[in-house]
Structure 1
Amino acid sequence: MMESEQTNSENERLSIKNGVYTTIILNISNNYFPLFAISVLGATNYQVGLISSLPPFIGMFAMIIGSLIINRLQEKKMFTVYSFLAARLFLVGIALVVFIPDKYQVIVFIVLVGIMNFPFSFANLSWQAFIGDIIQEDRRSGFFSTRNKMMTLIGMISTFFIGIFLQFFDKTDPIPFVGLYLLAFVLGLLEINYLKKHVEPKKKELPKKRSTHFGISVFRNKAFLYFIISALFFNFAWQMCWTLFSIYQIKYAGATGLWISLFAVANSIGQIISFKWWARMADKHSNAKMLILVSLGMAIAPFITIFSTNLVFLVITNIFAGLFVSGTVLMLFNQLLDVTNEDNRSLCISNYNILLAFVAFIAPQFGVFLLETTNIYTAMNISGFLRAFSGIFFFFLYIYLKRREGVSFKRKMAKI
Structure 2
Amino acid sequence: MLDAFFFAMMSGAGEGYFVAFALELGIDPLKAGLLGTLPLFFGGTFQLFFPKILEKLSNYNRFIYLASAIQATSFFPLVAFAFFQFKSFYLLLALNSIYWIMAFGLNQSWNAMISGLIPPDLRLSFFSKRSMLIYVGMFIGVITSGIALEYSRISHVSIYCFGWIFFFCMIFRLTSAFFLKKHSLVMMEDKEKNIFKKNIFEKFKTYTPSGMGNILFFVFFFRIAIYLSAPFFIPFMIKELKLSYFSFMGIISASIIGKIIIAKSLNAIAIKYNLNRIFFLSCLCICFIPLGWVFLSKNTLYLIILEIFSGMFWGGFEYSIFIMIINEIPRNFQARYMSIYNFIIAIAIITGSLTGGYIFSNINFLYGPYVLIFALSSMGRLSSLLFYPKIFDRIHIPKRHIFTKPLSIRPGQGTVDRPIIFKPRNHS
Deviates more, 1:262-271 or 1:362-371: 362-371
- From 375, 380, 383, give the equivalent of 1:381: 375
8 Å Cα contact 1:24/1:158 also seen in 2: yes
Deviates more, 1:87-96 or 1:337-346: 337-346
1:107 aligns with 2:90: yes
**Per the alignment, do residues 398 and 199 of structure 1 end up closer, same or farther by CA in structure 2, a change over 3 Å counting?**
farther
Deviates more, 1:233-242 or 1:259-268: 233-242
Deviates more, 1:231-240 or 1:82-91: 231-240
Q: Write the distance in 2 (CA, Å) between the matches of 1:272 and 1:330.
A: 13
**Per the alignment, do residues 92 and 58 of structure 1 end up closer, same or farther by CA in structure 2, a change over 3 Å counting?**
same
Could you tell me the TM-score, scaled by structure 1's length? 0.79
**Per the alignment, do residues 367 and 20 of structure 1 end up closer, same or farther by CA in structure 2, a change over 3 Å counting?**
farther
Deviation at 1:179, TM superposition (A): 0.3
1:45 aligns with 2:34: no
Deviation at 1:198, TM superposition (A): 4.9
Identify the structure with the greater helix proportion: 1
Residues 103-252 of structure 1 mapped to structure 2, 5 A cutoff:
104-130=87-113, 147-170=130-153, 173-198=158-183, 205-206=190-191, 210=195, 211-223=197-209, 225-252=213-240
1:369 aligns with 2:358: yes
Q: Write the distance in 2 (CA, Å) between the matches of 1:208 and 1:252.
A: 51
Deviation sequence 1:29-80 (CA, Å, 0-9, x none):
1211121111x21111331132023312322442232143447876434323
Alignment length (residue pairs): 385
Deviation at 1:304, TM superposition (A): 1.4
8 Å Cα contact 1:67/1:347 also seen in 2: no
Deviation at 1:262, TM superposition (A): 0.9
**Per the alignment, do residues 179 and 119 of structure 1 end up closer, same or farther by CA in structure 2, a change over 3 Å counting?**
same
Deviation at 1:182, TM superposition (A): 0.6
In the alignment, structure 1 segments of 5+ residues that lack a partner are 1-13, 403-416
8 Å Cα contact 1:299/1:384 also seen in 2: yes
Q: Write the distance in 2 (CA, Å) between the matches of 1:122 and 1:291.
A: 28
Q: Write the distance in 2 (CA, Å) between the matches of 1:81 and 1:46.
A: 35
Q: Write the distance in 2 (CA, Å) between the matches of 1:385 and 1:44.
A: 26
2:334 counterpart residue number? 345
Q: Write the distance in 1 (CA, Å) between the matches of 2:219 and 2:103.
A: 21
Q: Any idea what SS the aligned residue of 2:75 has? A: helix
Q: Any idea what SS the aligned residue of 2:374 has? A: helix
The one-letter amino acid of 1:385's match is M
Q: Write the distance in 2 (CA, Å) between the matches of 1:301 and 1:393.
A: 20
- From 67, 87, 90, give the equivalent of 1:83: 67
Q: Write the distance in 1 (CA, Å) between the matches of 2:232 and 2:167.
A: 28
Q: Write the distance in 1 (CA, Å) between the matches of 2:216 and 2:200.
A: 15
Q: Write the distance in 1 (CA, Å) between the matches of 2:192 and 2:258.
A: 45
Q: Any idea what SS the aligned residue of 1:309 has? A: coil
8 Å Cα contact 2:218/2:389 also seen in 1: no
Q: Write the distance in 2 (CA, Å) between the matches of 1:18 and 1:399.
A: 39
Deviation at 1:284, TM superposition (A): 4.9
8 Å Cα contact 1:230/1:397 also seen in 2: no
Q: Any idea what SS the aligned residue of 1:396 has? A: coil
Q: Write the distance in 1 (CA, Å) between the matches of 2:338 and 2:391.
A: 18
Deviation at 1:261, TM superposition (A): 0.6
Could you tell me the TM-score, scaled by structure 2's length? 0.77
RMSD over aligned CA atoms reads 3.4
Deviation at 1:281, TM superposition (A): 2.1
**Per the alignment, do residues 391 and 18 of structure 1 end up closer, same or farther by CA in structure 2, a change over 3 Å counting?**
farther
**Per the alignment, do residues 277 and 219 of structure 1 end up closer, same or farther by CA in structure 2, a change over 3 Å counting?**
same
In the alignment, structure 2 segments of 5+ residues that lack a partner are 397-428
- From 16, 23, 48, give the equivalent of 1:31: 16
Q: Write the distance in 2 (CA, Å) between the matches of 1:343 and 1:250.
A: 45
Q: Write the distance in 1 (CA, Å) between the matches of 2:307 and 2:192.
A: 48
8 Å Cα contact 2:13/2:144 also seen in 1: no
1:10 counterpart residue number? none
Deviates more, 1:281-290 or 1:380-389: 281-290
**Per the alignment, do residues 345 and 267 of structure 1 end up closer, same or farther by CA in structure 2, a change over 3 Å counting?**
closer
The one-letter amino acid of 1:266's match is A
- From 299, 306, 312, give the equivalent of 1:323: 312
1:11 counterpart residue number? none
Q: Write the distance in 2 (CA, Å) between the matches of 1:293 and 1:135.
A: 36
8 Å Cα contact 2:29/2:235 also seen in 1: yes
**Per the alignment, do residues 208 and 84 of structure 1 end up closer, same or farther by CA in structure 2, a change over 3 Å counting?**
closer
Deviation sequence 1:180-211 (CA, Å, 0-9, x none):
00101111123223434556777753288654
**Per the alignment, do residues 308 and 64 of structure 1 end up closer, same or farther by CA in structure 2, a change over 3 Å counting?**
same
1:301 counterpart residue number? 289
Deviates more, 1:241-250 or 1:225-234: 225-234
**Per the alignment, do residues 268 and 209 of structure 1 end up closer, same or farther by CA in structure 2, a change over 3 Å counting?**
closer
Q: Write the distance in 1 (CA, Å) between the matches of 2:352 and 2:120.
A: 32
Q: Write the distance in 2 (CA, Å) between the matches of 1:397 and 1:19.
A: 36
The one-letter amino acid of 1:121's match is F
Deviation sequence 1:96-152 (CA, Å, 0-9, x none):
1135574x5443223221233333332233335556777899999998776544433
8 Å Cα contact 1:129/1:349 also seen in 2: no
Deviation at 1:401, TM superposition (A): 4.6
